[in-house]
Amino acid sequence: MKKRNVIICALLYLAAILAIVVLERILPPTHIALAVLKKGCIYSLVAVSMNLLNGFTGLFSLGQAGFMLIGAYTYAVLTIPVEARDSVYMYFDGGIIQFSVPVFVGLLAAGLLAAVLAWLIGLPVLRLKSDYLAIATLGFAEIIRAFFQWDKLGVLTNGSNMLRKYPTFTTTLFPFLVCSACIAVIVLLIHSSYGRAFRAIRDDEIAAEAMGINLAKHKRLSFCISSFFAGVGGGLLAMYQTSIQAMTFKSAMTYEILLIVVIGGLGSVTGSCIASFLFIASSEWWLRFLDTEMTIGSFKVPFLRAGFRKVVFSIIIMVIVLFARKGIMGDHEFSIDGICRFFRNLGKKKEVKS
């Protein structure tokens, strides 16, 4: 059964790659559908990393935007070509770093620096619980954002100016492959002994400690791993945006990621992935027509104006939270066996009714 599932999942993955290749051949490079796929991939990785912490370990953290900022800046600073540094750091004499690294080295460094800072921050912060932990991590994210805009650090971060001219991607396959590889690593971790320890801590800390689980060690490990992949996601977001500035990594970005996790379901990896694409597609594509005034004959459709899209989107989110409190997937995963069981149970219900 497991071998069959692996084969089917591999075929579905190859089909997704083929679909992306076909879409890139059919659609123009600037089509909104390709932008949704690129950004959806990146947000799915960050959402899954946050779900590892909030959904699987039970630690309520709101510092995701801060770790994404660290990853984005680390990647950009390390990969800007040497010949372009004078024009990027024009107010800081070309900056302090006068070398560049390959793309994958930059992404790896982005995740590692975020994980190192998470370890340092986690030493005092992870002693807190519930809302106190959320407030502390949110405060950290705001401090990091202000710190990176400090002009005295401009020789490294370019101060309040944008970082640009670093390597970016043009194909949707690049973020898709990188994010799927990272999510696969997270899934393997969740199904390992460490993942079981994380879930035990989430369910009951006292019982987990009585079973011999080192609470401090496993909380710190979950926090660092989540931050590592958030840093990689930040590096990918920098590549997607082609230029970055600390001001864009506000607390609202963390709330968006948290919203995706809640809509998808706390403790569901596939739920976070599905919710990421639905969130990006709805907020940036499907509902965009609501921001444009519309006239049918002499009748002007009311309410349709700039900003109305966000109102409707907020109402949709409220409905989802009210009527599907566990999210789209709850704590379950999208699986082949689950689909088969669903159709078998549906068939049995029809037989009983007949």
Mind spelling out the 3-state secondary structure of 121-157? HHHHHCCCCHHHHHHHHHHHHHHHHHHHCCHHHHHHH
Greater model confidence, 261 or 347: 261
At residue 16, the pLDDT reads 92
User: Per-residue pLDDT averaged across 190-209, rounded?
Assistant: 92
User: Per-residue pLDDT averaged across 58-62, rounded?
Assistant: 90
At residue 347, the pLDDT reads 63
Confidence of residue 118 (pLDDT cuts 50, 70, 90): very high
As for how many domains the chain has, the answer is: 1
Give one word for 58, left, alpha or beta, with left for phi > 0 and alpha for psi -120 to 50: left
- Segments forming the whole domain that contains residue 37: 2-251
At residue 2, the pLDDT reads 65
List the beta bridge partners of residue 295. 300
> Do the domain assignments include residue 84?
yes
Q: Give pairs for 2-7: CB < 8 Å, separation 24+.
A: 4/336, 5/335, 5/336, 5/337
Look at residue 343 and tell me whether its pLDDT is greater than 80: no
Distance CA 42, CA 159 (A): 25
> Do the domain assignments include residue 307?
no
pLDDT in tens, 97-113: 989 999 999 999 999 99
pTM of this structure: 0.91
Distance CA 25, CA 8 (A): 26
At residue 244, the pLDDT reads 92
At residue 309, the pLDDT reads 80
At residue 337, the pLDDT reads 66
Least confident of 209-218, 225-234, 284-293: 284-293
At residue 354, the pLDDT reads 55
Q: Does residue 222 contact residue 198 with C-beta atoms inside 8 Å?
A: yes
Distance CA 48, CA 185 (A): 11
User: Per-residue pLDDT averaged across 300-328, rounded?
Assistant: 79
At residue 318, the pLDDT reads 81
Look at residue 70 and tell me whether its pLDDT is greater than 70: yes
At residue 336, the pLDDT reads 67
> Do the domain assignments include residue 262?
no
Three-state helix/strand/coil letters over 293-354: CCEECCEECCCCCCCHHHHHHHHHHHHHHHHCCCCCCCCCCCCHHHHHHHHHHHHHHHHHHC
Look at residue 120 and tell me whether its pLDDT is greater than 90: yes
At residue 326, the pLDDT reads 82
Confidence of residue 36 (pLDDT cuts 50, 70, 90): very high
Confidence of residue 338 (pLDDT cuts 50, 70, 90): low
**CB neighbour list of residue 151: distance below 8 Å, 6 or more residues apart:** 159, 160
Confidence of residue 287 (pLDDT cuts 50, 70, 90): confident
User: Per-residue pLDDT averaged across 242-252, rounded?
Assistant: 90
> Do the domain assignments include residue 267?
no
> Do the domain assignments include residue 100?
yes
At residue 321, the pLDDT reads 76
> Do the domain assignments include residue 227?
yes
**CB neighbour list of residue 59: distance below 8 Å, 6 or more residues apart:** 53, 126, 133, 219, 222, 223
Average pLDDT of the chain, as a whole number: 88
> Do the domain assignments include residue 166?
yes
Greater model confidence, 289 or 52: 52
Look at residue 265 and tell me whether its pLDDT is greater than 80: yes
Least confident of 253-262, 294-303, 307-316, 324-333: 294-303
> Do the domain assignments include residue 18?
yes
